[in-house]
A and B are shown apart, each in its own frame.
Chain A
């Protein structure tokens, strides 16, 4: 008793988790838009997903800029004289700019009805969209002193979450279109199952890590964080939808829609816990 500790603040606040959530959805929607060129059942979603992805990009970009304590200096990150390529944030900024340009070109091609260039631009946009969850995963992975973050699974988990949450939004946009929902059900099922497996792997390695990892595991699995991580994220947002979609009644439209909502709530909760929980212990050091 009577110990004196200095209270440190967490570095990244919840707004960053919202950004992760938004960027995941927009990446997933870009995958669906490209998928529509290969899978005819997704054709009705081509324009809707492309537009929704662009709107979310604008929203995510504004969130990211507003989260800076010097928002007007966001252009510094695009200044070639300043760019530091050892930072994933620098790569992320370039990725976002390239994605924005490709996304605009793709939407213009869609509006012109240019099928030939549209397919190529859809592929480029989807590939650049793949970089978004990967870079956000690396944003966390590179921090060597943080349990959970500093694991190679983070970029892969963020890609799986992007596919899951993008497909969930796609399923909601395709309400009434059973053919499209059939395809999106498959995407949601396997990506939600993959997320669940990766969360088990994260929990295992964290619980059996060093003292900092074990303490972080305790923070992540008890109290409010535990409710969000285990309850909403793991059980509600990945295991439950995977089981429901896999079950014989999983092909019904109502189950697909409920699963989509669960996946969205779960992936938002997971982003929050994965961002905030590994920062808690450090505030006491």
Chain B
């Protein structure tokens, strides 16, 4: 990732953010696929993912989607914890990025991230030599510096994901954050995330008591996951 790429053409610094309007998310997972295609993210790991919970009682049931990605925090614990400054914040734009060539693979950043946004790349990949280091969502830094929006935003069919500069009062994200009640994930951690949710349900954003009661049907899936993806 080039640190030298300019984000702001002039004037003040930018602070990019994403607004995820969960009311508009239909759970098509196109964002997840677009991200996979953009980065050739290996099997078993994701830069963005869309978990859901089925809530309500039959026949009044619905799926609560919560698209997830790196929150590009203002005060990122991963940056504080990296012993070799392999992860850093781009001051102009607020991107939290990774220096692959410097990462030693100690996984300290993974342990520090409250959002599970980081993952270890496997040792073998087909199209890129970037292996055995920690990876994460970059807010599509390479696209944004070319005046494009992130791949997940570009592909979002319901316009659930909106991306822009929070410091620009005329941007759509500024408008959405100003005019709607928004939530961030795990605000108690003090990380000041820059992914804002509209209409996120507490069933999906908080640890519910049912987290301990593992759903039986999930166990074979978890076992298969562990067997096939030795990450």
Give the interface of A toward B (CB within 8 A): 1-9, 11-12, 67-70, 73-74, 76-77, 79, 82-84, 86-90, 93, 139, 142-146, 211-212, 215, 218-219, 279, 281-285
User: B114 — which chain A residues lie within 8 A by C-beta?
Assistant: 144-145, 282, 285
Of B81, B110, B189, B209, which contacts A215 at CB under 8 A?
A: B209
Q: Are A89 and B81 in contact (CB under 8 A)?
A: yes
With A2-B54, A5-B218 already in contact, the answer to whether A284 and B112 are too (CB < 8 A) is: no
Does B217 belong to the interface (CB within 8 Å)?
Answer: yes
B85 CB-CB contact with A under 8 Å: yes
A5's nearest neighbour on chain B, judged by CB, is B51
Min CB–CB distance A284 → chain B (angstroms): 5
Per the bound structure, the CA–CA distance linking A151 and B52 in Å amounts to 32
A sample of 14 cross-chain residue pairs with beta-carbon separation below 8 angstroms, ordered by A number, consists of A3-B51, A3-B52, A4-B52, A8-B116, A9-B229, A68-B105, A69-B105, A69-B132, A87-B80, A143-B112, A144-B189, A282-B114, A282-B116, A285-B207
Give the complex CA separation of A73 and B103 in angstroms.
8
Closest B residue to A2 using CB positions = B54
Whether A211 and B209, one on each chain, are in contact in the complex, defined by CB atoms closer than 8 angstroms, is: yes
- Knowing A145-B186, A215-B207, A215-B211, the reply to whether A7 touches B222 (Cβ < 8 A) is yes
Contact A7 B225 (CB under 8 A): yes
Known A-B contacts: A9-B119, A211-B206. Give 8 more (CB < 8 A).
A3-B51, A3-B54, A69-B107, A83-B83, A93-B83, A144-B190, A145-B77, A145-B189
Q: How far is the CA of A3 from the CA of B132 in the complex (A)?
A: 31
Residue in chain A with minimal CB distance to B46: A6
CB atoms of A143 and B111 under 8 A apart: yes
Contact B107 A12 (CB under 8 A): yes
Residue numbers of B with Cβ under 8 A of A are 46, 49-54, 68, 77, 80-86, 102-108, 110-116, 119-120, 123, 132-133, 186, 189-190, 206-209, 211-212, 215, 217-218, 221-222, 225-226, 229, 231
The 8 A-B residue pairs with the shortest CB-CB distance in the complex, in nearest-first order: A69-B105, A145-B114, A89-B83, A11-B111, A11-B110, A90-B83, A82-B84, A87-B83
| Contact residues in A for B119 (Cβ distance below 8 Å) | 8-9
Residues in A whose Cβ lies below 8 Å from that of B221: 7
> Which residues of the other chain, B, contact A218 by a CB distance below 8 angstroms?
212
Check B49 against A6 for contact (C-beta < 8 Å): yes
Q: How far is the CB of B65 from chain A (nearest CB, A)?
A: 9
B105 and A142 form a contact (CB under 8 A) = no
Give the CA-CA distance A125 to B54 in the complex, in Å: 58
Point out the residues of chain B lying under 8 angstroms from A283, CB to CB.
Answer: 116
User: Which residue of A5, A84, A90, A219 contacts B212 across the interface (Cβ within 8 Å)?
Assistant: A219
Chain B nearest CB, measured from A257 CB (Å): 37
Is the CB–CB distance between A87 and B54 below 8 Å?
Answer: no
A77-B83 in contact (CB<8A): yes
A89-B86 Cα distance, complex, nearest whole Å: 13
**Which of B54, B107, B111, B116 contacts A1 (CB under 8 A)?**
B54
What's the least CB distance linking B132 to chain A, in Å?
4
Are the CB atoms of A68 and B106 closer together than 8 Å? yes
Known contacts A6-B46, A6-B49, A84-B82: A142-B102 contact under CB 8 Å: no
Contact of A76 with B102 in the complex, beta carbons under 8 Å: yes
Q: Are A77 and B84 in contact (CB under 8 A)?
A: yes
Chain B residues positioned under 8 Å from A86 (CB to CB): 80-81
B77 touches A4 (CB 8 A): no
Contacts of B49 in A (CB 8 A): 6
Q: Are B104 and A211 in contact (CB under 8 A)?
A: no
B116 touches A73 (CB 8 A): no
Q: Determine the distance from Cα of A5 to Cα of B50 in the docked complex, in whole angstroms.
A: 8
Q: How far is the CB of B41 from chain A (nearest CB, A)?
A: 12
Residues of B within 8 A of A9 (CB): 119-120, 229, 231
